């Protein structure tokens, strides 16, 4: 059984990953901005055994909420061995941005990049002491190539991929394995305005959840660093 932190679990990919891991009997500590947002969903704590799921308020723009989340999880679970980073935001700010868009650029970088860095750093001691630590981060194909003029979003995802490579190197001798998952379009709210691709041709959140589950069951000597998904949509 794993003890897992998951950010961004109130909807989309994060919610489906949380549901999958709960079904498998793992203990979960999820961090979301609005705790009430999961009431009545399939990860409503009322649906699960007492102690299997704890819900914490987490705002990617507020470092103190990350610290409190990790502290509460340590107290309740006695530590944890897995971190799954699903929080993220889409920005359409272009290269030639307007002056009033600079705030959105910085916010995008903070949510998509720096908050992940901070959460990994805060979790490091627990992951290392578990002797079988795992970090899975939802990066996106936008962390491998830039298409169009989504300058802020692509820049944040390229930075995130660089961070994943660095913590992979840092964690290797501490028995922490890192995987960056890079999907193309996934059928979530983030892709609602995409009409050039059929929703059923996109990867589904359940697909990503199944991949995460498989990764967590692999022995540490066989964990891949990078998983690219549905790349035919990148042609």
pLDDT in tens, 125-143: 999 999 999 999 999 999 9
Tell me the C-alpha distance between 210 and 183, whole Å: 13
CATH number of the domain at 117, please.
3.40.50.720
Tell me the C-alpha distance between 227 and 140, whole Å: 10
Q: Which of 22, 28, 130, 24 is nearest to 81 (CA)?
A: 130
- Are residues 87 and 7 in contact, defined by beta-carbon separation less than 8 angstroms? yes
**What's the domain range around 57?**
3-234
pTM of this structure: 0.94
Structurally, the chain folds into a number of domains equal to 1
Q: pLDDT value at position 198?
A: 74
Q: pLDDT value at position 188?
A: 75
- Are residues 34 and 54 in contact, defined by beta-carbon separation less than 8 angstroms? no
Tell me the C-alpha distance between 16 and 104, whole Å: 28
Q: pLDDT value at position 230?
A: 76
- The residue ranges of the chain whose pLDDT is under 70 are 189-196, 231-235
Tell me the C-alpha distance between 169 and 151, whole Å: 27
Q: pLDDT value at position 203?
A: 84
- Are residues 89 and 10 in contact, defined by beta-carbon separation less than 8 angstroms? no
């Amino acid at each position: 059984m794993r003890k897992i932190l998951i950010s961004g679990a109130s909807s989309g990919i994060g919610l489906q990953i949380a549901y999958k891991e709960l079904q498998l009997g793992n203990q979960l500590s999820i961090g979301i901005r609005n705790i009430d947002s999961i009431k009545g969903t399939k990860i409503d704590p009322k649906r699960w055994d007492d102690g299997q799921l704890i819900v914490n308020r987490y705002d990617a723009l507020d470092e103190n909420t990350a610290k409190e989340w990790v502290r509460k999880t340590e107290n309740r679970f006695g530590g944890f061995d897995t971190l799954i980073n699903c929080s993220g935001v889409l920005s359409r700010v272009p290269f030639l941005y307007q002056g009033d868009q600079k705030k959105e650029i910085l916010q995008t970088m903070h949510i998509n990049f720096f908050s992940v860095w901070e959460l990994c750093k805060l979790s490091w001691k627990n992951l290392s002491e578990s002797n079988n630590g795992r970090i899975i981060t939802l990066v996106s194909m936008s962390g491998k190539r830039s298409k169009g003029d989504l300058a802020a979003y692509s820049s944040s995802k390229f930075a995130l991929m660089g961070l994943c490579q660095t913590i992979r190197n840092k964690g290797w001798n501490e028995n922490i394995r890192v995987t960056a998952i890079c999907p193309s379009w996934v059928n979530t709210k983030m892709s609602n305005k995409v009409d050039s691709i059929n929703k059923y041709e996109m990867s589904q959140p359940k697909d990503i959840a199944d991949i995460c589950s498989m990764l967590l069951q692999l022995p540490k000597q066989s964990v891949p660093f990078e998983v690219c998904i549905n790349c035919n949509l990148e042609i």
